[in-house]
Structure 1
Amino acid sequence: MTDQSAPTAISGSDSSVLIGRGVLAVTIGNMLEFYDFITYSFFAIQIGHTFFSSNSQYTSLMLSLATFGAGFVTRPIGAVVIGSYSDRAGRRPAMVLSFAMMGSAIIVLALTPSYATIGIAAPIIVIIARMVQGFSLGGEVGPTTAYLMEVAPPNRRGIAVSWQPASQEIAATAGALVGVLLSRTMSEAALDSYGWRIAFLIGAACLPFGLWLRAGLPETVDLQAVETHMKGARKRLGAVRANTGIIILGLLVLASGTIITYVGQYMTTYAENTLHVATELAFATSVISNGLGIVGALSGGWLADRIGRWPVMVWPQLAALLLTYPIFLWIVDTQSAWALLGGFGFLSLVGSIPYSAFYVALAEGLPQNIRGGAFATIYAVAIAAFGGTAQLIVTWLIHVTGNALAPAWYMLLATAIGLAAMAMMRETAPDRVAGTDR
């Protein structure tokens, strides 16, 4: 009988091929998906002007952010459908499906005419496209994280899985770089009118390459064993009940992480709309912070392979908790380029380290027969509840309090909850868990 808690070996592949071909394909595909999803938040103001008719800049921005949040409503549905599909049919077809759906939604969003051109149909089409994007992205994270963990040898799982959060940071960096380039080369009127569409179409142009890469991946799930031993939902529900503890802790950590992430991605809009800095500096802040986030994510995975998952989760998260308020106070008081670039960049570096260790710990802690679906659902539910509302809540807090430090308050609460949940998780590194073959 096949041990469903252990990843299926891929015959004839050494570690360099596994980390090379497999991880590259997953990372690039995941990066392209997140690039387009995150790019929306960078151009929230411009998209609001295009699709929502309002005389109030605040109302237009809030409607745009609400549409951004619509993509989170369908994430749990996509997580259950595509994530469970990956446990039954394999990781590869699930990853191809989610990527193809995302590509269709991106093209629709980029090419939809403005409110001035087609009226109320414009925001309706955009909302539907966002919901399709949310569905596909909800089913993206679980299967890809499971694949990265399963394709890697035990002593390299940390660095392999770290490419999951790192790819999100790469996507955000790429989106910010495109924003900087467009803001430098286009007038504000042109950027508002069609420049943001160019950013989305750049991502869409990469879709054929991503699909080709994913279609050629080796499978990590033993489909014959699935056919023989996993008929019906009763066995999967039993596995879910047996892992309730880690599922609840995973929800808390991912709720924390998604608030931090989406408040961080909001820094472009925050710097431009609240601190009133130049658009170019606002985008540069995201480029630097996300670039350092890549370094932090990969460092976290590397450290998790060497000293274990638990210490890499807990101690950097504690450091981020202590640093958040002083750095935001420095940014708001000075509103200088050095504070924005250096302060928030350093906070992103430190704050990215624990989540790579968490991703691999959660993947290792879940048995393979529910790994894709459970991870996807945990991720999607946490993000639907907190990620889709994070930027709305921060914008509302700033508006009603008139205090530019509102993002720091929300991030402090999220970081503290994440720290408590991480501290309660057990160590899962294979060489540190005696007698356990994960």
Structure 2
Amino acid sequence: MSQTSIAQASKLNSRLGAILRSTSGNFLEQFDFFLFGFYATAIGKAFFPSESETASLLNTFGVFWLGALMRPVGAITLGAYIDKIGRRQGLIVTLSIMAVGTVVIAFCPGYATIGIAAPLIVLFGRLLQGFSAGVEVGGVSVYLSEIATPGKRGFYTSFQSCSQQVAIFVAAVLGYLLNELIPAETVAAWGWRVPFFFGCLIVPLIFFLRRTLEETPEFLAMQKHPTAREVFTSALANWRIVLLGMMIAILTTTTFYFVTVYTPTFGKNVLKLSSQDALLVTLLVALTNFIWNPIGGAISDRIGRKPVLLTIAGLALVTTYPALYWLVSAPTFAKMLGVEMMFSFYFGTYSGAMLGALVEIVPKHVRTTCFSLAFSLAAALFGTFTPFVSTWLIGRTEDKASPAFWLMFAAVLGIIGALAVYPRTPKPSRVKKPLPLGRALPQSSREAAGVLCR
């Protein structure tokens, strides 16, 4: 083998290793998030007992959503820290906070043992997880974008979402085995904690992987890194970018939480399918999500972000209700799998393009903060609210297909956001350059930060 081939192989292995180490924390985040949604019924009985199963579920999903409300707080606080101190050190801090929240939920005694303290402790654990998750997605996406080879930013950043699909796949496999090996009564009583314990056991390995990360050359090349105050000021000045970025990200977050976190509950409680069927569908969805994400990113690298975003959002708008109506009219495993595969295609392809777009439209020197804030707002106000809204819509309208209205609303916002960011189709040579949207800071602030806002 020639020296050139050896050098190329070494660079490839180095990049693959960097992708694995940076996305490992995303694995833990989504692993725990999915478990919370899949075992929502058991968690509701353990920590939020109620005579009404719907009320218990709403309480559980309510805590799930309250944790998500901490994401924007984490995006601003930890995002400013990462933009100032570095991508590597910041990702280690976010992992530490996430790990604490995971351990708290896994080992918290139930309501029957410690009373009202149980739901309060679980809420505390979810708040910690939400605070950390607020910057985890943005921090990893920015890291991947900054180590990407030229012309492949969408492809590289898509692996942030791919790591989450691996987490869901592993969690679904564990849940499937658990249901096969342990009686349903035992799973409901305490067996649901086993996958959470597994999440605790892999924390040391993820810490080891994160500690071996190298700082990105792009961050090291910056002549000056902004202070936290300068980051906050710049993020505020670029509120329009953050708002439009949030609108673009909403379809990703709502579809994702519908096909992963809410699908097991939807399959069992609404469609009355078996737990094994719901888990198998979720497992296959995670697999196809993993495939579609890099494909969507690569296609958007090739033809531009705008065509991919508008095409998928348009398809979601016109097909979501008919698909769900067809499913709930006579539920079967095959029909549920087919509908979820359609949503998986929408999510994966759109997400692959969206992540690259979001990295590119935010100002470089506050990239982590603005990216994380936009995505966290989309997740907190829409994405993680999806299980709660879906449960409420079905209860209020008695239409089992009514969650479609929530997803269709997200598609409309995605179309508006994409059209605002890309108001006209650029020439091929300029396909990756969206219209600058940010407002410039006062001259003194620009000089202090050492860069201009877009």
Taking only aligned residues, the RMSD between alpha carbons, in angstroms, comes to: 2.6
1:424 Cα deviation after fit: 3.0
1:392 Cα deviation after fit: 1.4
2:231 matches 1:271:
no
Worse-superposed segment, 413-422 or 184-193? 413-422
Q: Give the alignment's TM-score, normalised by structure 2.
A: 0.87
1:331 Cα deviation after fit: 1.0
1:87 Cα deviation after fit: 0.3
Equivalent residue, structure 1, for 2:347:
351
Worse-superposed segment, 132-141 or 21-30? 21-30
Equivalent residue, structure 1, for 2:184:
188
* Pairing of 1:336-347 with structure 2 (within 5 A): 336-347=332-343
Q: Give distance in 1, aligned partners of 2:306 and 2:433.
A: 18
Q: Give distance in 1, aligned partners of 2:357 and 2:213.
A: 24
Change (3 A) 1:429 1:25: farther
Change (3 A) 1:293 1:115: same
1:408 Cα deviation after fit: 1.3
Change (3 A) 1:221 1:176: same
1:306 Cα deviation after fit: 2.1
Contact conserved, 2:25 with 2:136, CA < 8 A, in 1?
Answer: no
2:134 matches 1:119:
no
1:269 Cα deviation after fit: 0.2
* Pairing of 1:75-94 with structure 2 (within 5 A): 75-94=71-90
Change (3 A) 1:221 1:127: farther
1:266 Cα deviation after fit: 0.5
The one-letter code of the counterpart of 1:39 is L
1:77-124 residue CA offsets vs partner (Å, 9 max, x unmatched): 111111111100000111111111111111111111111111111111
Equivalent residue, structure 2, for 1:364:
360
2:241 matches 1:246:
yes
Equivalent residue, structure 1, for 2:437:
none
Change (3 A) 1:221 1:77: farther
Contact conserved, 1:246 with 1:362, CA < 8 A, in 2?
Answer: no
Change (3 A) 1:194 1:228: same
Equivalent residue, structure 2, for 1:315:
311
Q: Give distance in 1, aligned partners of 2:269 and 2:14.
A: 45
Change (3 A) 1:319 1:222: closer
Contact conserved, 1:87 with 1:221, CA < 8 A, in 2?
Answer: no
Q: Secondary structure at the match of 2:151?
A: helix
1:222 Cα deviation after fit: 6.1
1:259 Cα deviation after fit: 2.0
1:319 Cα deviation after fit: 2.3
Equivalent residue, structure 1, for 2:210:
214
Q: Give distance in 2, aligned partners of 1:209 and 1:428.
A: 45
Identity %: 32
5+ residue gaps, structure 2: 1-7, 435-453
1:224-247 residue CA offsets vs partner (Å, 9 max, x unmatched): 766746357347634752x44432
The one-letter code of the counterpart of 1:213 is L
5+ residue gaps, structure 1: 1-11
Contact conserved, 1:89 with 1:223, CA < 8 A, in 2?
Answer: no
The one-letter code of the counterpart of 2:247 is L
Equivalent residue, structure 2, for 1:432:
430
Contact conserved, 2:148 with 2:156, CA < 8 A, in 1?
Answer: yes
1:304-332 residue CA offsets vs partner (Å, 9 max, x unmatched): 22222222222223223232122212211
Q: Give distance in 1, aligned partners of 2:313 and 2:387.
A: 22
Contact conserved, 2:304 with 2:432, CA < 8 A, in 1?
Answer: no
The correspondence for 2:194, drawn from 178, 191, 198, is 198
Worse-superposed segment, 190-199 or 13-22? 13-22
Change (3 A) 1:312 1:189: same
Q: Give distance in 2, aligned partners of 1:150 and 1:16.
A: 15
1:1-36 residue CA offsets vs partner (Å, 9 max, x unmatched): xxxxxxxxxxx9975245311111122221222111
The one-letter code of the counterpart of 1:307 is I
Q: Secondary structure at the match of 2:215?
A: coil
Q: Give the alignment's TM-score, normalised by structure 1.
A: 0.90
Change (3 A) 1:379 1:189: same
Equivalent residue, structure 2, for 1:172:
168
* Pairing of 1:1-400 with structure 2 (within 5 A): 16-220=12-216, 228=224, 230-231=226-227, 233-234=229-230, 237-238=233-234, 241=237, 243-264=238-259, 265-400=261-396
